[in-house]
Copies of this chain bind each other. A is one copy, B any other.
């Protein structure tokens, strides 16, 4: 499979701010996370570089960045491909989430500011009302990022940003996004309520169950 670059040239307008390689990486990251380049797609230097009007050297720097973020896989002398995650990857991602998300809740001693958490829930409700399942997935991810942010650790934030970006790759190889996101909206709200009222142990418990269920459901439906 080779990338379709037909209307990619429209993104050229966006490439006029910071470092070229970073901006190219931003464009590609968005395309990948939105499913425009599905897992397994080959990103040929010639086609992408031509469409975005950047040199091969610059493009390769952008590829490096995205490879390090695990969104692309680099095969020697064959090029870069949008990563295809295995069931083992899904298991590992949920292991990390269990440890980090539950750990972030566990270390709380006082009721924190929950602005970001509640905002994500509102976004999720709006998306569900509009039956926009992709937006619901995004809001859901933002909820969990907000929970991790309670730990107030830039390094954990970055880790989780990467892990959740990988998780989007998983969603793109599955059909019917609705069934994977909708039921969790209510559970997010319950977790937020526990946090508001200072019931941290209950919040951690609910989060662990949430993640366990999500992992199980995902693995059950995951292609071989």
Chain A interfacial positions (CB closer than 8 Å to B): 18-19, 57, 60-61, 64-65, 68, 76, 92-93, 95-96, 98-100, 102-104, 107, 151-156, 159, 163
Contacts and interface: CB of A to CB of B under 8 A. Distances in A.
Contact of A92 (B68, B76, B92, B155): B155
Given A99-B100, A99-B103, A93 B155 contact: yes
B95 A151 contact: yes
This chain's copy number in the assembly: 2
Given A64-B64, A99-B107, 15 more contacts: A19-B76, A61-B61, A64-B65, A65-B68, A68-B68, A92-B155, A95-B152, A95-B153, A95-B155, A96-B153, A99-B103, A100-B103, A102-B103, A103-B103, A155-B163
Nearest to A152: B95
A134 to B, nearest CB: 25
A99 B64 contact: no
13 contacts: A57-B57, A60-B61, A61-B64, A65-B68, A68-B68, A92-B155, A95-B153, A95-B155, A96-B155, A99-B103, A99-B151, A100-B103, A155-B163
A92 B153 contact: yes
A216 to B, nearest CB: 17
Contacts of A100: 99-100, 103
A95 B156 CA distance: 9
Nearest to A153: B95
Nearest to A19: B76
Contacts of A76: 18-19
Contacts of A96: 153, 155-156
Contacts of A102: 103
A32 B155 CA distance: 21
A65 B102 CA distance: 30
A104 to B, nearest CB: 7
Contacts of A65: 64, 68
A107 B106 CA distance: 14
A153 B155 CA distance: 17
